[in-house]
A = this chain, B = another copy of it.
């Protein structure tokens, strides 16, 4: 498995009032990997992301990115949620360059890059459209491009396709894999969909119910590139049944 640690969480924990959202958790993510996180609702997955992104200060522990400690600081990750959070008053190209606009002046290069990315990944015709004109899948693609052009090495995707229907979702997954291959980023990907977690990742992390901690950390042996056929491939099914039995316990 990969060689160089990009992100390192050391004994992160977080409590909200009486709710222990995150039990002390450590995790190391290597550069360029695609790591999926699954776990029951309310187990602290989003809390984990918020801590990494700097939106929440952990009660204890340290977040290291590359060589620096970034606990509680912002501005060092790309972030994307189930809600696309596109702003309706900006065109597609302006939504893609939004991170730049929020921190500095948008340059011609920013726009050029946004255009290039949009064209490359099938939204070239929609640059001047407003988000309201796009389908759910297209909107999530724009949201992802916006995340991409932040040039952050680490991308946190929190159920990005959770609101899409199954077929669109499958298309988006394939699209995401293509983009990831092209752009050499490190992805942390939260999902409730076990198929999705396996289809996309190098590594599947399963979390326990609240208070959240890491139950298991599976390497995903499925070769790349992957196609829809892999969803019924025995290697896939085997990993799926292991993950499901952890998630659903005696039910399985």
User: Do A248 and B170 have beta carbons less than 8 Å apart?
Assistant: yes
Q: Which of A234-252 contact B (CB under 8 A)?
A: 237, 240-241, 244, 247-248, 251-252
Contact of A227 among B168, B195, B252 (CB under 8 A): B252
Q: How far is the CA of A163 from the CA of B164 in the complex (A)?
A: 9
Interface membership of A178, Cβ < 8 A: no
Interface membership of A210, Cβ < 8 A: no
Name the B residues within 8 Å of A28 (CB-CB).
none
Interface set of A (CB-CB < 8 Å, partner B) = 40-41, 159, 162-163, 165-168, 170, 191-195, 227-229, 231-232, 237, 240-241, 244, 247-248, 251-252
Please judge, given known A-B contacts A162-B165, A168-B41, whether A237 and B232 are in contact too, CB under 8 Å: yes
Name the B residues within 8 Å of A159 (CB-CB).
165
User: Do B167 and A41 have beta carbons less than 8 Å apart?
Assistant: yes
Name the B residues within 8 Å of A195 (CB-CB).
195
Q: How far is the CA of A193 from the CA of B244 in the complex (A)?
A: 17
Tell me the smallest distance from the CB of A170 to a CB of chain B, in Å: 7
Name the B residues within 8 Å of A191 (CB-CB).
166
Q: How far is the CA of A228 from the CA of B168 in the complex (A)?
A: 24
User: Do B232 and A241 have beta carbons less than 8 Å apart?
Assistant: yes
Nearest to A232 among chain B residues (CB) is B241
Top 3 A-B residue pairs of the complex, sorted by shortest distance between their CB atoms: A166-B192, A165-B192, A232-B241
Name the B residues within 8 Å of A231 (CB-CB).
240-241, 244
From A40, A163, A195, A228, name the one whose CB has the most chain B CB atoms within 10 angstroms. Answer: A228
User: Do A244 and B227 have beta carbons less than 8 Å apart?
Assistant: no
6 intermolecular pairs with C-beta atoms under 8 Å apart:
A41-B165, A167-B192, A167-B247, A170-B248, A195-B195, A232-B244
Q: How far is the CA of A244 from the CA of B41 in the complex (A)?
A: 28
User: Do B232 and A248 have beta carbons less than 8 Å apart?
Assistant: no
Name the B residues within 8 Å of A244 (CB-CB).
228, 231-232
Nearest to A241 among chain B residues (CB) is B232
Tell me the smallest distance from the CB of A205 to a CB of chain B, in Å: 16
Q: How far is the CA of A241 from the CA of B230 in the complex (A)?
A: 10
Nearest to A237 among chain B residues (CB) is B232
User: Do B251 and A240 have beta carbons less than 8 Å apart?
Assistant: no
Name the B residues within 8 Å of A192 (CB-CB).
165-167
Q: How far is the CA of A104 from the CA of B83 in the complex (A)?
A: 41
User: Do B248 and A228 have beta carbons less than 8 Å apart?
Assistant: yes
Name the B residues within 8 Å of A167 (CB-CB).
40-41, 192, 247-248
